[in-house]
Amino acid sequence: MADQTSWLKIVVQCRDAVRKRIAPLLKTLNEPQRDLGLGAGGDPVRKIDLAAERAIFETVKKHEVSFTLISEESGIKQYGDSPSQNFVTIDPIDGTTNLMRKIPFYATSIAVSARPSLESIHTALVEDLYHGVTYTAQRGKGAYSNGEKLTPSKITSLEEAVIGVDINTYKVRKIASQLTALIERTKHLRHLGANALELCYVAGGTTDAFIDIRGKLRTTDMAAASLIIKEAGARITSPEGKPLRIRLDPRQTVFFVAAGNEEIHRVILDLIRPRKEI
């Protein structure tokens, strides 16, 4: 059974394999793309998604460790004699739409855990595939970007803060009332289209918070980034301020509020808390 240090080396090798595998496919994005149906998470599958997934799975298999793969594309698959020893949760390409439209913001996301639950993740990697920035974390050992320790933002004023809000949903009318007060107070709202990377931006202080209360995002999208956030010293909770205790599954959705520090996190939670009708 691989330890945390071994797993960090393995996920870095996975990153390298993904880069190599998708490089030729990036040159063919203007060509017609074959319809490959829907993945386990419910999104359309592209050839480049499957190529990245295969690169990760083949790399892990080379190390002869038993594991259960939890993938947004292929679902849950078991390998080896004791697959319940390790769980490898991946989003092979986070931000596929960005990649296909040549918007330079997409990533690969890999999390390793002892159980299929968000709180048990011990090793994580998110790779910004366009800019070549690697975010990593190990439980109890901090979070890093290309080897430099991540430090989240200390900004506490919404007027100064850059806040990410994902409202990409047909249910936007349902969540609009929760977000109105926050939007009115915030001058700099963003959504860049790859949630794992947006969470890493919060971990490193590039942005000050990121909010997703749609009930649409899956745990496979943000599993690795959740550990990076926590190990950087930033905050991530449910919209009610509770710890995220959620199973890792391509069909499991999650609501969260991530922020660089406790003070701005409390302000955001107060603003988006559902109000009781009088």
Question: Regarding predicted confidence, which is higher, 232 or 27?
Answer: 232
* 43-84 pLDDT tens trace: 777 899 999 999 999 999 999 899 999 998 889 999 999 999
| CB within 8 Å of 108: residues ≥ 6 apart | 14, 15, 18, 52, 56, 90, 91, 92, 93, 94, 126, 127, 129
d(CA 252, CA 129): 25
Question: Cβ distance 236 to 230 under 8 Å?
Answer: yes
Domains of the chain, each with CATH number or no CATH: 4-149 (3.30.540.10), 162-272 (3.40.190.80)
Closest CA to 88 of 256, 269, 250: 250
* 145-177 pLDDT tens trace: 999 999 999 999 999 999 999 987 656 777 888
Per 3-state DSSP, the chain is made up of helix, strand and coil in percentages (nearest 5) of 35, 25, 40
pTM: 0.93
